[in-house]
Amino acid sequence: MPDPSRLVSELEQLSGLARALGDRARRRGAFLIWRAQARAVTRVAVKSGRVEDVSTSSGSGHGVHVLTSEGRTALASRDDFLPGPAEELFDRAATAAEAAAGLGVDPAGFASLTPETARAIPDGLQAFDRIDLAGHARRLVELERELGGRVPDVTLALTFATDLDAWRVARSDGADVLWAMPRCSLRLSASSSGDSRHTVGAAISGASPTLLDDSEAMTTFLKRAEEAARLARALPDAPVHPAGAFPLVIDYALAKGLAHEAFGHAAEADGFRSSVLAKGGRFRSGDEVGASHVSVIDEPVPGDHAWQPFSSTGVRRDRATIVDHGRLRDALTDAWSAGPSGVRLTGADRAESFRSAPLPRMTNIRIEIDAPLHAPGRFEDYGPAEVRDLLGAAGVLARHPRVVYLSGYSGGQVNPATGDFVFNCKSIYTISPGGVALHKPAIFSGSMFDALHAIREGFGPLLLDAIGTCGKWGQSVPSSGGSHYFLVLEPSPGIRLGGR
Amino acid sequence: MDLAPLLDALRCTRADGRSISAWSVFASASRRLTLGTKDRETGNPHAPLNLAEGLTVRATIVWDDGRVSRAALERRQVEREPGPALVAARASAYDDPDARDVLGPATFPDVPVLDPGTERLAAGEIAPLAARLAAIRDRVSAGGIRTWSGSFHASSGTACVVTSAGLDVSGRGTSAGWHATLDGEFGAGHSARAPESDADFAARLDRLVATVLDLRRAAPGRPGGVVPVILHPDVVEEYVLGALFHNLEGAAVAHRTSAFRSDQFGLDTPVLREDIALTNNPLTPMRAGAYRFSPEGLPAAPVTFIDRGRLVAPVLELKYARRLGLAPNSAPGALDTVGFSGSSAIDEAAAIARAAGGVLVLNVLGVHTQDFTSGDFSLSAPQVLALGSSGIEGRLRGTISGNLFALLRAADLEFVRFPGEHTPGLLARCRFDSA
């Protein structure tokens, strides 16, 4: 086992507290899920050539999630690990759960779980105990200067953040798992400087605070950042693309958005009483929802921004093939929702903090296509002209003389009850045999089923490093994913580009 | 909360051979209760009764070499390990001459922000929630609503600001609110320092049910084009005010990442239509956005950001006030103390009549994907009511697009009063494309 960081050691020392609370729960006839979290975050921001902010924060505490013998639950939390307040906390939660019947709270079933004792501690976490914030600040200033030299007349802001998020989950049935999630990200925001300003972002992520010293990662970042800065400068003069349904090409980051917004959220089993992927509260396993060469898969990827090896109830997280060659197969379930949903437990629950009730969530989600077409080199080598060459060689431009290429993901949203999803891009290019033309970004919206049926070709290998933050029910957790470099979607009335 | 160990350490700690020349500490200790409902199941395992207690402490430390540290500290560090926490903070010190200001004593306004009933609820006395839950269930049942989700919350807390310059101010406050979404389509709620009255609660619920029932009737599709569009107050808050305050943020103005340039503030040149004003009054009693002092210790006071369409002041904390050479002011804590107005406003019924041939946009998706600096917008609008000569004709889905700043400069823009809503709606002309 690698040397643990300070945060991991702190959680390891809480065995006595976990045991005492478990004993207390058993004496009361209740079931306990105990979550302890220790987290340390640093952030350095550079704007306009100067260090604008250096901040540090740390937080730790625990939540006691009580399930009464009648099946009612309550959660109580406090931001320290002192034994006395912890026992009071448990009693408050248990009393509240027992009184919940008066509010019309119905009992809920909880799956029978196999208690597991395990640790998942990545190597290299000691680096989080000796972060050189001054060094990071100097490096960001250098990067900004370099980018400013490459693309003048653009206002740049760079942020580097490190985040070590360690958890221990123990249950009164003896389960006890501990894991640590290292996350570091380097982000750029580029704004045009004229009267009509546009802002475009770029980012990379990694699991080590030494990300800024990783030459391959920095090469990727500089390419992405330069492209973002050039785009910010060009967008004010770009025309608006008309609204409508078109043949589309989306890059892997937008494909992550499509998988995440269009299918991932609707596959989260806590919403199955209203989700379009369920009927009567049960997942529509086996139903055809997309083209037969298309699959949607969610799983924790080691080293990834959204990696989480165990659920927040202490269950090992499984790979979930949500769509298997066009048909629904797995849902994102937890110990409460798997049974009522009629599908297997995938251990998908995550919580933002020890204060939060876990919810089924995605980690790294991707769209996979059978037999993708060849796209040599790195993704960053492809500008719109190179994408045109790919499409031309594959016959797409013979099928559709004018294709709309959406590049770069800038967020999305979904209503799982209706299946309506939206996401936005950073830029739009119209691609035809005669050339490419830049347009301002526009919202992309539609029905999830139409979108998954519309996917025809995929180009290139899988690239799964598109990162983001996923908000649900007031909780935000890191998300990630991707697809092949590019996907081609046939025009469909159910998927539209919005205009503007 | 016990800040004494931290304050003692601030007075005597040395780190890296340096002592502390000035400091400011904001602390907030709170208790919070939340109770959720997911798809008609109140308190289900994914939205359980949740009781939380916590201490938030943020410190600004100015070292004797002029460098500054900004740290968020946890309870353990504050109460038991303040010395090591300050030594760690020194490692994050950086040069920032604009961030060195520490406020001294001042006179603070009295603003009612405390409700004893909410304090009891936050401590776990949950019985008062039963009647409101029953009211929602009754109306959902009577209206034939398929499902609903939502939450209630109550919190109470004590906040204080203590500085090395002699400022020592504290206060207690509460917060209470609810929100419900029906049929996964449209929601409503209220948040303030105390629960709204039973009558206001019932009226809001009735309006919500009526709107959701309106959404059940489909309207025939329409050709795309520029039409009269009423933006519901929810849309105005989420998109219009969200974009305006993004661009008014002091940091964005100072770094030229705002649509507004710093040299535009105080000029007699309008950037919006000449009757538009945007203000904040944190002294409004019992509003969610009411407060006595900021986390930096600035006394709360009314502030005007935009007057007669002209930029008056960005939203300024101490650092960017100093950077821009302007006075710091009171940022909105919530939108119920924000005034957004024109020279006149029409009521909802009049707006619906004037917007015949257009639409009422109840909700939009994708606000966080928009580029607020350009003002260009392209938003999915899945809950839209088609408006005709006889009023609401049924539900449409579509996309709205345009440019926010052009919309707020248009001569035909109208402010619209909606019952029970503090924020106005807007009647404007922009593109609507039916899906």
pLDDT of residue B269: 96
Compute the CA torsion angle B375, B378, B381, B387 (nearest 10 deg): 80
pLDDT of residue B346: 98
Tell whether B424 lies on the interface with A, counting CB pairs under 8 A: no
Tell whether B126 lies on the interface with A, counting CB pairs under 8 A: yes
Cβ pair B185:A424 closer than 8 A = no
Distance, in Å, from the CA atom of A96 to the CA atom of A473, rounded to the nearest integer, reads 21
Identify residue A147 by its one-letter amino acid code: L
Which DSSP string do the residues of B404-430 spell out, in sequence order? HHHHTT-TT-EEEE-TT-SS-EEEEEE
Give the CA radius of gyration of chain B: 24
pLDDT in tens, B141-163: 999 999 999 999 999 999 999 99
Identify residue A242 by its one-letter amino acid code: P
pLDDT in tens, A272-282: 988 889 999 99
C-beta neighbour count of B433 within 10 angstroms:
22
Q: A72: which chain B residues are within 8 Å (Cβ-Cβ)?
A: 43
Q: Which two tokens stand for residue B370?
A: 């928009």
Using a pLDDT cut of 70, give the percent of chain B over it: 100
Query: B residues 235-274 near A, CB within 8 Å?
Result: 251, 255-259
pLDDT of residue A416: 77
- Cβ atoms of A290 and A326 closer than 8 Å: yes
Distance, in Å, from the CA atom of B179 to the CA atom of A80, rounded to the nearest integer, reads 31
How many pairs of residues across A and B have Cβ atoms under 8 Å apart? Answer: 273
Which DSSP string do the residues of B277-312 spell out, in sequence order? EEEE-TTSTTBTT--SB-TT-PBP--EEEEETTEE-
pLDDT of residue A339: 95
Give the CA radius of gyration of chain A: 24
Q: Which residues of A479-494 are buried (b: 16+ CB within 10 A; e: fewer)?
A: bbbbbbbbbbbbebeb
Q: Which residues of chain B have pLDDT under 70?
A: none
pLDDT in tens, A144-174: 999 999 999 999 999 999 999 999 999 999 9
Q: Which two tokens stand for residue A351?
A: 């919580």
Q: State the DSSP H helix or E strand holding residue A443, giving kind and residue range, or none if neither.
A: strand A443-447
pLDDT of residue A500: 46
Q: B378: which chain A residues are within 8 Å (Cβ-Cβ)?
A: 424, 441-443, 498-500
Distance, in Å, from the CA atom of B202 to the CA atom of B178, rounded to the nearest integer, reads 12
Question: What letter does residue A129 receive in the DSSP assignment?
Answer: G
Cβ pair B124:A92 closer than 8 A = yes
Distance, in Å, from the CA atom of B119 to the CA atom of A476, rounded to the nearest integer, reads 27
Distance, in Å, from the CA atom of B145 to the CA atom of B212, rounded to the nearest integer, reads 8
Q: State the DSSP H helix or E strand holding residue B211, giving kind and residue range, or none if neither.
A: helix B198-214
Residue pointed to by tokens 């967020």: A411
Identify residue A331 by its one-letter amino acid code: A
CB-CB: which of B77, B137, B373 is closest to A191? B373
Length of chain B, please? 435
Q: Is B388 helix (H, G, I), strand (E, B) or coil?
A: strand
Instruction: Give the residue among A150, A222, A176, A249 at the shortest CA–CA distance from A17.
Output: A176
Q: A455: distance to nearest CA of chain B, Å?
A: 20
- Alpha helices per DSSP H over A190-278: 215-234, 252-257
Q: A236: which chain B residues are within 8 Å (Cβ-Cβ)?
A: 374
Question: What letter does residue B48 receive in the DSSP assignment?
Answer: -
CB-CB: which of A55, A357, A410 is closest to B50? A357
Length of chain A, please? 500
- Measure the CA angle with vertex B37, ends B121 and B394; round to 5°: 125
- Cβ atoms of A187 and A469 closer than 8 Å: no
C-beta neighbour count of A123 within 10 angstroms:
12
Q: Is A232 helix (H, G, I), strand (E, B) or coil?
A: helix
- Measure CA of the first residue to CA of the last residue in chain A; give whole Å: 54
Tell whether A313 lies on the interface with B, counting CB pairs under 8 A: no
Instruction: Give the residue among B88, B49, B92, B33 at the shortest CA–CA distance from B67.
Output: B92
Q: Is A12 helix (H, G, I), strand (E, B) or coil?
A: helix
Q: B346: distance to nearest CA of chain A, Å?
A: 29
Compute the CA torsion angle A118, A120, A124, A130 (nearest 10 deg): -80
- Cβ atoms of B153 and B175 closer than 8 Å: yes
- Cβ atoms of A67 and A33 closer than 8 Å: yes
Tell whether A1 lies on the interface with B, counting CB pairs under 8 A: no
Contacts of B197 (CB under 8 A, 6+ apart): none
Tell whether A126 lies on the interface with B, counting CB pairs under 8 A: no
- Cβ atoms of B151 and B47 closer than 8 Å: yes
* Mutation to test the B interface, candidates A44, A103, A246, A425, most B Cβ within 10 Å: A103
Query: A residues 341-360 near B, CB within 8 Å?
Result: 355, 357-359
CB-CB: which of A54, A105, A243 is closest to B224? A243
* Mutation to test the B interface, candidates A17, A43, A80, A81, most B Cβ within 10 Å: A80
C-beta neighbour count of B343 within 10 angstroms:
11
Q: B197: distance to nearest CA of chain A, Å?
A: 20
- Alpha helices per DSSP H over A353-403: 384-393, 396-399
Q: Which residues of chain A have pLDDT under 70?
A: 1-4, 195, 499-500
Distance, in Å, from the CA atom of A421 to the CA atom of A444, rounded to the nearest integer, reads 8
Cβ pair B47:A473 closer than 8 A = yes
Tell whether B120 lies on the interface with A, counting CB pairs under 8 A: no
- Count how many Cα atoms sit within 13 Å of the Cα of residue A392 in the half-sphere of its side chain: 12
- Cβ atoms of B178 and B151 closer than 8 Å: yes
Helix then strand then coil, % of chain A, to nearest 5: 30, 40, 30
Identify residue B385 by its one-letter amino acid code: L
pTM of the entire structure? 0.93
Distance, in Å, from the CA atom of B399 to the CA atom of B348, rounded to the nearest integer, reads 22
- Measure CA of the first residue to CA of the last residue in chain B; give whole Å: 55
Q: Which residues of A133-162 are buried (b: 16+ CB within 10 A; e: fewer)?
A: beebbebbbebbeebbeebeebbbbbbbbb
CB-CB: which of A56, A244, A355 is closest to B71? A56
Distance, in Å, from the CA atom of A248 to the CA atom of B57, rounded to the nearest integer, reads 49
Tell whether A417 lies on the interface with B, counting CB pairs under 8 A: yes
Please state the φ and ψ torsions of residue A383, each to the nearest 5 degrees.
-90, -175
Helix then strand then coil, % of chain B, to nearest 5: 25, 35, 35
- Alpha helices per DSSP H over A296-442: 338-341, 384-393, 396-399
Distance, in Å, from the CA atom of B364 to the CA atom of B376, rounded to the nearest integer, reads 15
Cβ pair B94:A137 closer than 8 A = yes
Distance, in Å, from the CA atom of A315 to the CA atom of A334, rounded to the nearest integer, reads 8
